[in-house]
Every structure is written in C-alpha cells, then in structure tokens.
Structure 1
Amino acid sequence: MSETINLLIVDDHPLIREGLRKILSFEPQIHVLGEVANGALAVEFCSQNAVDIVLLDINMPVMNGIEACRKIKELKPGLGIIALTIHDQDEYLFELIKYGISGYVLKDVHPHQLIKTILGVARGESFIPPALTARVLAEFSRLTSGDQDKKHQMLTEREIDVLKQVATGQSNKDIAKALYISEKTVKNHLTNIFQKIGVADRTQAALYAIREKLVDI
C-alpha cells in the first residue's frame, strides 16, 4: 500500500458522490481516483486502475454493491472494500462479509469516522458498527453451530496470539510491533490461520475468535 490511498467512490447519486469527494478532500492521505455510478462500472474501473479502497453503495442499477463486491474481490483479493449504505439489514451485512468486505458504514456516519474507517482499512483493519456486531456474531454462531470440532486447536500458540490481535482490530504493522516479529511473518501467520479455521479474511477471522471466546471485546 502506497502512502497515498487511491479510492474509488461508487454510488448512483451524483450529489452523494460530490459530497463524499468534498469530505475526503480534507484528508491529504486520501486521493479520490475516480467516481462511478454502478457496480458494473466499479468492477471495470478496478480492473484497469490501481485502486486501494472502494467506497461502495449497495442499492444501485445495472449491478448492485453485493455482486460488485464479489466480483472485485475475485479480481483483486487484496483490495479493501467499504460498504457505505442507508441499510442496516442483516442480510446485506452477512452477504458482504461472506464476500470479503472490510468495512460497513451507514450513511449517517460522521465524516471524521468515515475518514478514520478508510485509513484503518488501508492499514489492514476491519470495521463493523458496534450496533451490528452482536447480530453478526449471532448469525455466525448459528451458521457454524453444527461444527463441534474446535478448529482453533490446530493453531500454534503464536498463531493464536496473532488471531487475538486481529480480533481487536490491530493492523499487520501493529501486530508485528506487539509480538516482536516482522510484518511478513504476520502475513504468513494470517495465511495459515485463515486456512486452518476455514475463513476468507480478517473480518471473518475476528468474528471466529470472538465466537470461540479467544478474546473478549
């Protein structure tokens, strides 16, 4: 990730796109690389440009945000996606988490919190609003309630340490500093953790750690 965060705004309302651009212009680290009006254009833009973060609406014509998220993550798995929406329905959030969303922000968010979320996701962190976390955990637990084998028992002690750090929202850099290891080693541990516990990204790993009571949030 470069020092400048190249961001794509995806929303079908021109006024919202313009408002977001103005808000984000106050943060020198964020560069709005482009704006598009639907998910299909977002996928095309990401395939042709060096995008770091996508700020993605959900309900859009041509292709909605959920499908766009799926296609973008297939195209560029390391790209960060933040859903910015008026909806707090569980089904939207569950689908987006399944496809690898890094953040979920409601459109009434304070501009400072939006910028903070973008900067955090760029560092490799994840964000789900506290009001939605309990519902996500409940659904995650329901979906996995039949799985009685404790997958985290396959993790090494160091991998559990890394997983605990992920669950508290720490970036790779922060984890490396806290555990006195390199960022490359952190990435290697995360690859092993994801494979062992059967998740696709940091958000799912964090939810797993909380559900299994490996960490108290």
Structure 2
Amino acid sequence: MTIRLVVADDHAMIRAGLRLVAENAPGMEVVGEAADGVEAVAVTRERRPDVLLLDIAMPGMDGLAAATTLLGDPAPPRILMLTTFGSDENLHAALRIGVSGFLLKSSPPEHLLEAIRVVAAGDGLIDPAVTLRVIASFAAQPPLSPPPELATLTAREVDVLRLLTRGLSNREIAAESGVGEATVRSHVAQILRKLDVRDRLQAVVLAYESGFVRPGQE
C-alpha cells in the first residue's frame, strides 16, 4: 500500500529534498506541496494524504496553527512535524494538539522514512534527540488531575501503558511481558480506546502530564 504525502515547508530547497527522499523510497508518493500554513491546509484538504510533513515554523500561518486547523477536520491526516530546533514549548504545543510525530530536520534520511512509516501505521514518534528533554520538562511541571479514564484500565493494561512510556515497540513489550505480539496489540488498542487518544504517543503524553508515570518510575 502506497503512503501518500504532502510536504509543507517555506523553503523550496527543503521541500525538494524531502520529496526526493520520499519518492526514492518504495511505497511512498508525494501528492502535493505547500509553502505556508494556509496553503498546507488547502492542499491537504484537497489531496487527502495519509501523512502531512509539516514545518513547525512558517510565515503567516505557522505549522502549529495549520495542524490545529486540520486536526479539527472529520478525517485528518497523520501529521509529522519537522523543525530545525527542539524547542520544548513548540514540542509541547504540537503534542497537545494531537500531532503524531516530531522530527528534527537534521535527522538522516533513513530516520525520516522510518518516521513516515511509523505515523502512517497509526503510531506516534518523537525524535530520539529530544525525547529525554521532553520527558524531563513534562516531569518538571505540576501534574494535571488524572483523568478518570485511567481508572478503567486493567492491571495488565496499566503494565502495558508503563512499558509504552519507555518507548518500547509491541515486540519489545511482548518479550518483556511474556505474551504474544497479538495480545500486546489488543492491549494497546484497548488503552487507546479507553483513554480516548489517537495513538501511542498521545497515551504517553497523557501518562506523563497526569503524573501517572514519572521519569525513573517507568
């Protein structure tokens, strides 16, 4: 199955580079480009890609505003935010509005392609270069009141959620828990449903923001 992409960045050279990397990978197709947030919203709504590669800093309507607009649509794309910096403030804002991933533009091409595949599959991703800072900054903030939905998780689902906060894949969770991958997938699906979140990344954000898990207690 081909992953359909829209690339949004105000620098034509960067858009060309992203297109080149994606279109030279099997199973990917760039169906549109945009040079600012307004154009990104229009092109995305017209072309309906699976994944939107969206620069976080653009003139006029920036990436955060464009993402907020698109994520309010009935069937939004998966959004992978791209940036040249790792601002905690921007990262928090992007995660809170429901983007599926956050990747530094300095990441090598193979990381970009893997990130596209991860978010297209319905999972969430934060660039490893900023993950520890994100966790630390979440932990430094006063925890929000735990949502009542956390109390609906079974003991096994609580264990799986804690493993998700460590960034483990389904295979790694299965190995750690001594169960099959299919069972892990079922638990993850139930966690997302009960917590009413879009993907694993949003579940991890909720876990840290609510104080359900703290660094060093995963």
Shift of 1:213: 3.8
Q: Deviation of residue 146 (structure 1)?
A: 5.4
Amino acid at match of 1:14: A
1:192 — aligned with what?
A: 194
1:207 aligns with 2:197: no
Counterpart in 2 of 1:130? 128
Deviations 1:18-39 (A, max 9, x none): 1111111221111111111111
- Tell whether 2:88 aligns with 1:90: yes
Relative to structure 1, the CA distance from residue 101 to residue 148 in structure 2 (aligned partners, 3 Å threshold; closer, same or farther) is closer
Identity %: 33
Q: Distance in 1 between matches of 2:35 and 2:147?
A: 45
CA distance in 2, matches of 1:45, 1:8: 8
Amino acid at match of 2:132: A
Matched AA of 2:89: E
Residues paired across the two proteins, number: 209
Structure 1 runs, 4 residues or longer, greater than 6 Å off: 148-151, 214-217
Say if 1:166 and 1:50 are closer, same or farther in 2 by CA, change over 3 A.
farther
CA separation in 1, counterparts of 2:57 and 2:182?
A: 41
CA deviations over 1:72-121 (Å, ceiling 9, x no partner): 11115552111111121111111101111211111111011111111111
Alpha-carbon separation, structure 1, partners of 2:105 and 2:99: 16
Is contact 1:126–1:169 with CA below 8 Å preserved after alignment? no
Per-residue CA deviation, residues 130-155 of structure 1 (Å, 9 max, x unaligned), is 33223222332344425378863431
Instruction: Judge conservation of contact 1:5–1:52 (CA < 8 Å) in 2.
Output: yes
Q: Which one of the candidate residues 99, 102, 121 is aligned to 1:101?
A: 99
Q: Which runs of 5+ in 2 are unaligned?
A: none
RMSD of aligned Cα (Å): 3.2
**Which among 29, 34, 44 is matched to residue 36 of structure 1?**
34
Q: Aligned match of 2:155 in 144, 154, 157?
A: 157
Identify if the C-alpha distance between structure 1 residues 206 and 62 changes in structure 2 by more than 3 Å, giving closer, same or farther: same
SS of match in other structure, 1:180:
helix
Unmatched segments (≥5 aa) in structure 1: none
Q: Is the 8 A contact 1:125 1:169 kept in 2?
A: no
Q: Which residue of the partner structure matches residue 69 of structure 2? A: 71
Change (3 A) 1:200 1:52: closer
- 1:9 is aligned to 7
Q: CA deviation at 1:50?
A: 2.5
Q: Which moved more, 1:155-164 or 1:55-64?
A: 155-164
1:111-130 equivalence runs, <5 A: 111-130=109-128
Contact map agreement 1:54 1:80 (CA 8 A) in 2: yes
The one-letter code of the counterpart of 2:83 is T
Q: Tell me the amino acid that sits aligned with residue 31 of structure 2.
A: L
Deviations 1:145-197 (A, max 9, x none): 253788634312343355346443547xx9896143776x8545412123xxx
- Say if 1:169 and 1:66 are closer, same or farther in 2 by CA, change over 3 A: farther
SS at match of 1:31: strand
